[in-house]
Amino acid sequence: MKKIPPKYLLGFAVVFAASQFARPSRIPAAASGPGDLFVKYPPATEVSRLLAAACLDCHSASTRYPWYAEVQPVGWWLSGHIRNGRTALNFSALASLPASAITHQLDACVDAVNHGEMPPTSYRLLHADARLGDTEKVQLTSWFQDLADKISTGSGKK
Ligand code: HEC
């Protein structure tokens, strides 16, 4: 293995140290309001637990930031991820969308979980409780599916 010249190591150390001062802005946790899907349609305890363990850090206003979010560039990488996740899907605001948009998102959730796309691999590596077993996937996807059915029936279209 080739040795890394000390001046590169020093350069890296300086950039790393300096980057600790440039913090990404945390995306504020909004109090859950009427747009919160889980306030409007409260899931059973077990489903709530699975959602919190596997989805809500990126798809709701209640992100739990891990200690390593304080370490740059990890913090930047995380906030980019969270921003993208919330843009794609935000359970804390979902209930204020039209019924068709809600059911569309819920269907996408069923697919994402069934295909193993969500939660993302990098997240599963870091969070043991986000590695969903088959039974847990069924519990979660059934809740998404049942709610989608209930909403689309309720809105008079099917
Ligand atoms: C580590 C952050 C993270 C977690 C945890 C996570 N997601 Fe995502 N999710 C994202 C990001 C980022 C995107 C948007 C980019 C993409 O599609 O990869 C996304 C996109 C989605 C989409 C939209 C896909 C589309 O077709 O547009 C759905 C649905 C979704 N996630 C559902 C879930 C569900 C359900 C869970 C929990 C089982 C979950 N996600 C957990 C980050 C996350």
Q: Rounded to 5 degrees, what angle do the CA atoms 149, 151, 30 make?
A: 125
Pocket test for ligand 1, best of 57, 68, 89, 138 (most atoms within 8 A of CB): 89
Which ligand 1 atom lies nearest to the CA of residue 144?
A: 35
pLDDT of residue 16: 78
CA 84 – ligand 1 centroid, Å: 9
Span 88-144, pLDDT tens digits: 899 999 999 999 999 999 999 999 999 999 999 999 999 999 999 999 999 999 999
CA 119 – ligand 1 centroid, Å: 6
Instruction: Tell me if 59 CB under 6 Å of ligand 1.
Output: yes
Distance from C-alpha of 129 to C-alpha of 66, rounded to nearest angstrom: 14
CA 23 – ligand 1 centroid, Å: 24
What are 47's two structure tokens? 């489903």
Instruction: Tell me if 148 CB under 6 Å of ligand 1.
Output: no
pLDDT of residue 25: 61
Span 5-61, pLDDT tens digits: 888 888 888 777 777 766 666 655 555 677 899 989 999 999 999 999 999 989 988
Distance from C-alpha of 33 to C-alpha of 35, rounded to nearest angstrom: 5
What are 113's two structure tokens? 């979980």
Other beta carbons within 10 Å of 124 = 16
Residue 119, Cβ density class (10 Å: 0-12 exposed, 13-18 middle, ≥19 buried): buried
